[in-house]
């Protein structure tokens, strides 16, 4: 393996690690921690502390994803196997990633992030629920899952063009 190939391997590894830490941590919170804390008297305190600690993880993940994403981007678009569909999916992925970064920055600028129920605001129960699902942390996580899917599609598209010659 040449030094430049090793460099790309390192960037790919860090990129995946950062994505796992961010999206995996978010899924853990949503599917395990939050249900476990529901109804408990100290849930608010723990929620606040977990949010503070996880914010550091997310901030680091964003920087790593940006730097390594730029390296992978340059590596892919300068190869002969980045087709038009590849470019379209990559453009969509970057747009959603930027939206995720923006949502994190936007939440940080607000002093206290609203809870899942608070962020839904007034309205009919079904509408409130839909608003809650697509708000704040949940929306970032939904976008993260979609970005992971697009990343897998990118890998597949690249490989297809590689095997087709």
Binding site for ligand HEM (CB under 6 A): 12, 15-16, 19, 22-23, 65-66, 69-70, 72-73, 76, 94, 97, 100, 144, 147-148, 151, 154-155, 158
| Residue (100 or 120) nearer to ligand HEM, CB | 100
Minimum gap (Å) between residue 161 Cβ and ligand HEM? 10
Residues 6 or more apart whose Cβ sits within 8 Å of residue 97: 65, 69, 147
As measured in angstroms, the least distance from the Cβ of 111 to ligand HEM is: 25
Cα–Cα dist 25/137, whole Å: 11
122-136 burial code (b ≥16 CB/10 A, e <16) = eeeeeeeeeebeebb
Smaller CB distance to ligand HEM: residue 15 or 120?
15
* Minimum separation from the CB atom of position 13 to ligand HEM (A): 8
CA distances for 7 relative to 3, 11, 15, 38, 148, angstroms: 6, 6, 12, 45, 22
Q: Select the residue whose beta carbon is closest to ligand HEM and give its number.
A: 69
């Amino acid at each position: 393996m040449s030094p430049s190939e090793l460099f790309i391997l390192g960037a790919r590894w860090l990129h995946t690690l950062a994505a796992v830490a961010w999206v995996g941590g978010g899924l853990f919170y949503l599917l395990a921690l939050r249900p476990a804390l529901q109804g408990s008297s100290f849930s608010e305190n723990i929620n606040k502390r977990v949010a503070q600690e996880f914010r550091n993880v997310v901030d680091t993940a964003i920087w790593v994803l940006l730097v390594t994403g730029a390296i992978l981007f340059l590596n892919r678009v300068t190869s002969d196997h980045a087709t038009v569909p590849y470019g379209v999916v990559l453009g969509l992925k970057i747009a959603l990633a930027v939206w995720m970064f923006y949502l994190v920055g936007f939440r940080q600028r607000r002093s206290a992030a609203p809870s899942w129920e608070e962020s839904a605001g007034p309205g009919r129960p079904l509408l409130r629920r839909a608003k809650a699902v697509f708000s704040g942390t949940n929306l970032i996580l939904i976008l993260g899952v979609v970005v992971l899917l697009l990343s897998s599609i990118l890998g597949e598209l690249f490989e297809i063009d590689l095997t087709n010659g």
